[in-house]
Structure 1
Amino acid sequence: MQAATVYQLDIVLTADARIIVGRLGEFLFPAGRYVYTGSACRNLAARIDRHLSRDKKLRWHIDYLLEVESAEVVGVRLFEDGECVVNQTTEGIVVAPGFGASDCSSGCGSHLKYCGRSECLAVSANVHL
């Protein structure tokens, strides 16, 4: 069995938030459910723990969203499939083009999806719970 290297953060934003996301610029994030798809070839647990921490330097696009007081990670899923495969099989819409996808060569457009009031679900069969 292959080790998981891809993760999704299930995020709830309880209030609309206008956020400047590093060099990407400013976006309005409507209240609701989001899913962020990321990967880590090494130290996956450490990467996820970092995302869950409130005390960190803003380094990745997701850090800007998660620093907002009304944002909370309510779940984490792990996958064996590739990051873009998981992202592309996850329902939702893009509200911040380029978010988390600066190194994406698969045309995802964003690795953050907005699902309104519903949980964002991936169709990938290779999930670790």
Structure 2
Amino acid sequence: MPITCFGDSPRQGTYALFILLSKKLNLSFGRFLGGRKIPLDPGFYLYVGSALGNDPASMPLARRLVRHASRSSGKPPHKIRSQMIRFFKNNNLATSNLQPPTGKKLHWHIDYLLDNRYAQIINISIIRSPLRLESTVSDFAESLDETFIIAPKLGAGDTTRGTHLLGVRNPETCICAFEQKVTSYLQELKEHSSVIE
């Protein structure tokens, strides 16, 4: 299953996208680095983001992830999108009226990569939590032996630290190591909160 979900309650949270790029690109990420193009080799990439929203009855995670799996100007969506929508509905991350966006505009750094036809989301890790975990989770990703920085601060336009879009040397070991770190961290959080109570 290309979608792993930690937790089962809120519809908010943090996520990691594992992306396969099948062709070398020189890509501009909007205004990042003044619009300078960054060379991206074929291979795997990891992006960490979050969708917290303020209304617990809404579905920020599902909407954000379906948006990521959609492309602008009527281009075909990522192959994983229909599977994502089914998964979200079956796991109470979305209601039956979840629809892909129409008229998507490129906004975040990651949009510029995901809008390219040579990029495909191949795996998603979701952490269902209302806590602001994006910077911590991106630190985990950055600390892995399997990842490397493409450009400092790439993908982290709305956070104060870290790099949220990274290159990946080995996707299988990276996904495994990343999910182990997340599992350990969530266990620590749970133990800490039970001590406080």
Normalising by the smaller structure, the TM-score range is: 0.7 to 0.9
Match of 2:157 among 92, 102, 114: 102
Contact 2:16/2:47 (<8 A) preserved: yes
Q: Deviations over 1:31-60 (max 9, x none)?
A: 111110000112110000000001321111
Matched with 1:49 is 66
Using the size of structure 2 for normalisation, the TM-score is 0.58
2: CA distance, partners of 1:74 / 1:115: 13
Higher relative contact order (CA 8 A, sep 6+): 1
Question: Which ranges of structure 1 fall in alignment gaps of 5 or more residues?
Answer: none
Higher strand share: 1
Aligned pair count reads: 125
2:108 to 49, 57, 60: 60
Q: Secondary structure at the match of 2:27?
A: strand
Name the CA distance, whole Å, in 2 between partners of 1:93 and 1:67: 22
CA drift at 1:117: 4.3
- Tell which structure's C-alpha radius of gyration is larger: 2
Shift of 1:70: 0.9
Q: Does 1:11 align with 2:19?
A: yes
Percent identity at matched positions?
33
Distance in 1 between residues matched to 2:47 and 2:182, nearest whole Å: 15
Is the contact between residue 109 and residue 157 of structure 2 (CA under 8 Å) also seen in structure 1?
no
Counterpart position of 1:86: 137
| 1:69 lines up with 2:117 in the alignment | yes
User: Hey, what's the Cα distance between the residues in 1 that align with 2:122 and 2:171?
Assistant: 13
| Residue from 167, 171, 174 that aligns with 1:118 | 171
Structure 2 unaligned blocks of 5 or more: 1-6, 54-59, 73-103, 188-197
Normalized per residue, the structure richer in helix is 2
What's the CA shift for 1:102? 1.8
Give the CA RMSD over aligned residues.
2.0
